Amino acid sequence: MFQIFRERTSSDDSEQGFRLSAISHIGKVRENNEDNLCFFSTVLDEEHTNSKLMVSTFKDQDQSFCVGLFDGLGGEAYGEKASYLAACTMRECIKKGMNEPVSFLKDICLSMNDSVFLTAQENDYGIMGTTAALLLHHQGKMYCCNVGDSRIFGWRPDGLEQVSIDHTTASILRELNLLDRKPQLTQYIGINEEYTWLTPAISAYSLNTFLRYLLCSDGLTDMLNEEEIHAFMAKGSVEESTRNLLEKALERGGKDNITIILCERMGGPDHE
């Protein structure tokens, strides 16, 4: 069974286990922060601007945990409410505990979708939605799950690999040579399943596949390319890498909200 995840810290980086950091920032243009996250017991308030940098360390490499971030649909009303509802629902699902990881992630996504969609219907909000990017560790495997275009990357010293799937119309626009149009989401949390089934993308990796995993909203990936992200992830602790990624995105203009979760497997090969 999954246990209720507890946050623990340690100053001994030689130990086996995992170290994670997270932060959310309003950016330099938006008037509110429609991103949110579920970082163990922490969910940000529905109305917030910038979070503090959060760090958690698990000494036990067998420890199960699940974290996630959410980017409310900025083009629609109540994006901050959608991301907040999704994060709170995820936290409640984790507290209940489940067995099989893939089913667990699917159930979280379906529960979040019901919560957001039904809230929108009951309050006549119209379309209300959020993206989701989740990272789960269980029994020696890392599971990546996403709905929408918030991305998950796996990092190794020799490169960065996107392990999430962008649920957008980008490929269609490329085929039509409509490169000046912004891709639309084809999947998001809050979708009406009478018309489109919610189909989260889920993949699993052994612990040796990647040393670090990055979850981020498009406020980061719109400002930095993958080569730059790889370079910033290659230097320093997870806290330092998280700060450096955020600072560079803000330096580039910070045109959207920026939320980052970074996870490192401790005790792996040196990558300094």
pTM of the model: 0.91
Encode pLDDT of 184-231 as tens digits.
899 999 999 998 899 999 999 999 999 999 999 999 999 999 999 999
Helix (H, G, I), strand (E, B) or coil at 147: strand
Please tell me which residue, 110 or 12, carries the higher pLDDT value.
110
pLDDT(6) > 60: no
Q: Which residues contact 73 (CB under 8 A, 6 or more apart)?
A: 34, 79, 82, 127, 128, 129, 130, 131, 185, 188, 190
Report CA torsion sign: 167, 173, 179, 185. Answer: negative
Residue 85 has pLDDT above 90, yes or no: yes
Closest CA to 30 of 257, 200, 239: 257
Residue 7 reports pLDDT greater than 70: no
Q: Residue with structure tokens 């891709």?
A: 183
Give me the residue spans of the domains in the chain. 18-266
b/e string for 25-56 if b means 16 or more Cβ within 10 A? bbbeebeebbbbbbbbebbbebebeebeebbb
97, 65 contact by CB (below 8 A): no
Q: Mean pLDDT across the chain, nearest whole number?
A: 90
CATH of the structural domain 18-266, one choice from 3.90.1150.110, 3.60.40.10, 3.30.565.10, 3.40.50.11890: 3.60.40.10
Phi, psi of 125 (to 5 degrees): -85, -10
Radius of gyration for the alpha carbons in the chain, expressed in angstroms and rounded: 18
The pLDDT of residue 88 is 98
